[in-house]
Amino acid sequence: MIAVPAREAELVAQAQAGSAEAFGRLVQERQQAVRAFLRRVCPDRAEADDLAQETFLAAWSQIGRLRPGVSVRTWLCGIAWRKARTWARGRARSARRDREWLDTRAQSFAAAEEDRAAVAKAMAALPLDQRAAVALCLAADWSHAEAAEALGLPLGTIKSHVQRGRAKLMEVLGAQP
Protein backbone atom coordinates (compact mmCIF):
# COMPACT_ATOMS: atom_id res chain seq x y z
CA MET A 1 0.00 0.00 0.00
CA ILE A 2 1.22 3.49 -0.82
CA ALA A 3 1.91 5.76 2.12
CA VAL A 4 -0.71 8.52 2.27
CA PRO A 5 0.55 11.93 3.42
CA ALA A 6 -0.98 13.11 6.71
CA ARG A 7 -2.39 16.25 5.06
CA GLU A 8 -4.24 14.14 2.48
CA ALA A 9 -5.57 11.80 5.17
CA GLU A 10 -6.83 14.83 7.09
CA LEU A 11 -8.58 16.26 4.00
CA VAL A 12 -10.15 12.85 3.30
CA ALA A 13 -11.45 12.65 6.87
CA GLN A 14 -12.93 16.15 6.58
CA ALA A 15 -14.49 15.35 3.18
CA GLN A 16 -15.96 12.14 4.58
CA ALA A 17 -17.44 14.23 7.38
CA GLY A 18 -19.20 16.33 4.69
CA SER A 19 -16.75 19.15 4.02
CA ALA A 20 -17.16 20.22 0.41
CA GLU A 21 -14.22 22.57 0.86
CA ALA A 22 -11.90 19.70 1.88
CA PHE A 23 -13.11 17.62 -1.06
CA GLY A 24 -12.56 20.60 -3.36
CA ARG A 25 -8.95 20.81 -2.19
CA LEU A 26 -8.47 17.10 -2.86
CA VAL A 27 -9.87 17.51 -6.35
CA GLN A 28 -7.78 20.60 -6.98
CA GLU A 29 -4.62 18.75 -6.00
CA ARG A 30 -5.40 15.61 -8.03
CA GLN A 31 -7.40 16.83 -11.01
CA GLN A 32 -4.35 17.27 -13.24
CA ALA A 33 -3.38 13.62 -12.79
CA VAL A 34 -6.93 12.45 -13.48
CA ARG A 35 -7.33 14.66 -16.56
CA ALA A 36 -3.93 13.66 -17.94
CA PHE A 37 -4.78 9.98 -17.49
CA LEU A 38 -8.16 10.33 -19.19
CA ARG A 39 -6.71 12.38 -22.06
CA ARG A 40 -4.28 9.56 -22.74
CA VAL A 41 -7.01 6.93 -22.58
CA CYS A 42 -9.73 8.81 -24.44
CA PRO A 43 -8.94 10.09 -27.95
CA ASP A 44 -11.37 13.01 -27.68
CA ARG A 45 -10.01 15.73 -25.38
CA ALA A 46 -13.42 17.25 -24.66
CA GLU A 47 -14.82 13.82 -23.86
CA ALA A 48 -11.87 13.19 -21.53
CA ASP A 49 -12.63 16.43 -19.69
CA ASP A 50 -16.30 15.42 -19.40
CA LEU A 51 -15.25 12.06 -18.00
CA ALA A 52 -13.04 13.83 -15.47
CA GLN A 53 -16.02 15.87 -14.30
CA GLU A 54 -18.09 12.70 -14.02
CA THR A 55 -15.24 11.14 -12.05
CA PHE A 56 -15.21 13.98 -9.52
CA LEU A 57 -19.00 13.89 -9.16
CA ALA A 58 -18.90 10.15 -8.57
CA ALA A 59 -16.01 10.58 -6.13
CA TRP A 60 -17.96 13.11 -4.09
CA SER A 61 -20.90 10.73 -3.78
CA GLN A 62 -18.56 7.84 -2.93
CA ILE A 63 -16.11 9.62 -0.62
CA GLY A 64 -17.40 7.60 2.32
CA ARG A 65 -16.16 4.41 0.63
CA LEU A 66 -12.56 5.61 0.43
CA ARG A 67 -10.67 3.34 2.80
CA PRO A 68 -8.02 4.75 5.11
CA GLY A 69 -4.54 4.48 3.70
CA VAL A 70 -5.64 4.49 0.04
CA SER A 71 -4.16 7.26 -2.08
CA VAL A 72 -6.75 9.74 -3.37
CA ARG A 73 -4.95 9.85 -6.71
CA THR A 74 -5.14 6.06 -7.02
CA TRP A 75 -8.78 6.04 -5.96
CA LEU A 76 -9.74 8.84 -8.38
CA CYS A 77 -7.89 7.22 -11.29
CA GLY A 78 -9.71 3.95 -10.53
CA ILE A 79 -13.04 5.76 -10.76
CA ALA A 80 -11.84 7.51 -13.93
CA TRP A 81 -10.84 4.16 -15.43
CA ARG A 82 -14.28 2.70 -14.79
CA LYS A 83 -15.89 5.81 -16.30
CA ALA A 84 -13.62 5.53 -19.36
CA ARG A 85 -14.47 1.85 -19.85
CA THR A 86 -18.19 2.59 -19.60
CA TRP A 87 -17.77 5.44 -22.08
CA ALA A 88 -15.83 3.19 -24.49
CA ARG A 89 -18.47 0.44 -24.30
CA GLY A 90 -21.20 3.01 -24.94
CA ARG A 91 -19.28 4.45 -27.85
CA ALA A 92 -18.80 0.97 -29.33
CA ARG A 93 -22.52 0.21 -28.93
CA SER A 94 -23.40 3.52 -30.54
CA ALA A 95 -21.04 2.89 -33.45
CA ARG A 96 -22.51 -0.59 -33.93
CA ARG A 97 -26.06 0.81 -33.90
CA ASP A 98 -25.02 3.50 -36.38
CA ARG A 99 -23.51 0.88 -38.72
CA GLU A 100 -26.62 -1.28 -38.47
CA TRP A 101 -28.84 1.71 -39.14
CA LEU A 102 -26.73 2.74 -42.13
CA ASP A 103 -26.84 -0.82 -43.47
CA THR A 104 -30.62 -0.82 -43.09
CA ARG A 105 -30.82 2.58 -44.77
CA ALA A 106 -28.69 1.36 -47.65
CA GLN A 107 -31.02 -1.61 -48.09
CA SER A 108 -34.03 0.71 -47.90
CA PHE A 109 -32.51 3.00 -50.51
CA ALA A 110 -31.83 0.02 -52.76
CA ALA A 111 -35.41 -1.17 -52.34
CA ALA A 112 -36.71 2.36 -52.87
CA GLU A 113 -34.64 2.67 -56.03
CA GLU A 114 -36.07 -0.62 -57.30
CA ASP A 115 -39.58 0.62 -56.48
CA ARG A 116 -38.93 3.91 -58.29
CA ALA A 117 -37.71 2.03 -61.35
CA ALA A 118 -40.76 -0.24 -61.30
CA VAL A 119 -43.12 2.74 -60.96
CA ALA A 120 -41.36 4.59 -63.78
CA LYS A 121 -41.63 1.51 -66.00
CA ALA A 122 -45.30 1.06 -65.09
CA MET A 123 -46.01 4.75 -65.74
CA ALA A 124 -44.30 4.53 -69.12
CA ALA A 125 -46.65 1.69 -70.03
CA LEU A 126 -49.73 3.87 -69.48
CA PRO A 127 -51.27 5.80 -72.35
CA LEU A 128 -50.19 9.44 -72.33
CA ASP A 129 -53.55 10.84 -71.13
CA GLN A 130 -53.74 8.32 -68.27
CA ARG A 131 -50.10 8.97 -67.35
CA ALA A 132 -50.77 12.72 -67.16
CA ALA A 133 -53.91 12.24 -65.03
CA VAL A 134 -52.12 9.83 -62.67
CA ALA A 135 -49.08 12.10 -62.44
CA LEU A 136 -51.21 15.07 -61.42
CA CYS A 137 -53.84 13.41 -59.23
CA LEU A 138 -51.86 10.65 -57.54
CA ALA A 139 -48.27 11.85 -57.60
CA ALA A 140 -48.79 15.61 -57.30
CA ASP A 141 -51.97 15.41 -55.18
CA TRP A 142 -54.05 17.59 -57.49
CA SER A 143 -57.83 17.40 -57.36
CA HIS A 144 -59.62 15.82 -60.31
CA ALA A 145 -61.09 19.22 -61.17
CA GLU A 146 -57.64 20.87 -61.21
CA ALA A 147 -56.26 18.12 -63.44
CA ALA A 148 -59.25 18.39 -65.79
CA GLU A 149 -58.70 22.11 -66.11
CA ALA A 150 -54.93 21.80 -66.63
CA LEU A 151 -55.20 18.98 -69.18
CA GLY A 152 -58.26 20.38 -70.93
CA LEU A 153 -60.20 17.12 -70.48
CA PRO A 154 -63.67 16.51 -69.06
CA LEU A 155 -63.84 15.75 -65.32
CA GLY A 156 -65.33 12.30 -65.92
CA THR A 157 -62.47 11.42 -68.28
CA ILE A 158 -59.90 12.44 -65.65
CA LYS A 159 -61.62 10.29 -63.04
CA SER A 160 -61.65 7.32 -65.43
CA HIS A 161 -58.00 7.84 -66.38
CA VAL A 162 -56.97 7.98 -62.73
CA GLN A 163 -58.98 4.88 -61.84
CA ARG A 164 -57.68 2.85 -64.81
CA GLY A 165 -54.15 4.15 -64.39
CA ARG A 166 -54.12 3.24 -60.70
CA ALA A 167 -55.41 -0.25 -61.49
CA LYS A 168 -52.71 -0.80 -64.14
CA LEU A 169 -49.98 0.48 -61.82
CA MET A 170 -51.16 -1.81 -59.02
CA GLU A 171 -51.22 -4.75 -61.44
CA VAL A 172 -47.72 -4.04 -62.76
CA LEU A 173 -46.36 -3.53 -59.25
CA GLY A 174 -48.05 -6.68 -57.97
CA ALA A 175 -50.04 -4.84 -55.31
CA GLN A 176 -53.55 -5.68 -54.21
CA PRO A 177 -56.15 -3.13 -55.38
- The domain that contains 81 carries what CATH number? 1.10.1740.10
Read off the DSSP letter of residue 40. H
Last residue of a domain, one of 79, 97, 115: 97
- Considering the domain boundaries, does residue 143 fall inside one? yes
Q: What does the pLDDT read at residue 21?
A: 95
90 with 141, same domain: the answer is: no
Per the domain annotation, does 163 fall within a domain? Answer: yes
Q: Could you list the residue range(s) of the whole structural domain that residue 50 is in?
A: 6-97
Same domain, 85 and 136: no
- The total domain count for the chain is 2
Do 71 and 143 lie in one domain? The reply is: no
Give the pLDDT score at 116. Answer: 76
pLDDT value at residue 109: 60
Does one domain contain both 17 and 89? Answer: yes
Query: Which pLDDT belongs to residue 98?
Result: 80
Q: Do both 82 and 157 map to the same domain?
A: no
Residue 82, domain member (yes or no): yes
Residue 138 confidence (pLDDT): 85
Q: Which helix (H) or strand (E) holds 85?
A: helix 72-125
State the pLDDT at residue 169.
83
Does 92 map to a domain? yes
Instruction: In whole angstroms, give the CA distance from residue 112 to residue 126.
Output: 21
Sign of CA dihedral 120, 124, 130, 133: positive
Same domain, 131 and 84: no
State the pLDDT at residue 1. 54
**pLDDT confidence of residue 50:** 95
Q: Give which of 41, 42, 31 is closest to 73, Cα–Cα.
A: 31
What pTM value is reported for the model?
0.55
Per-residue pLDDT of the chain (177 residues; tens, 9 = 90+): 567 788 889 999 999 999 999 999 999 999 999 999 999 988 889 999 999 999 999 999 999 999 888 889 989 999 999 999 999 898 888 888 888 877 776 665 655 677 777 778 888 888 888 989 988 898 888 999 999 988 899 999 999 999 998 888 888 777 655
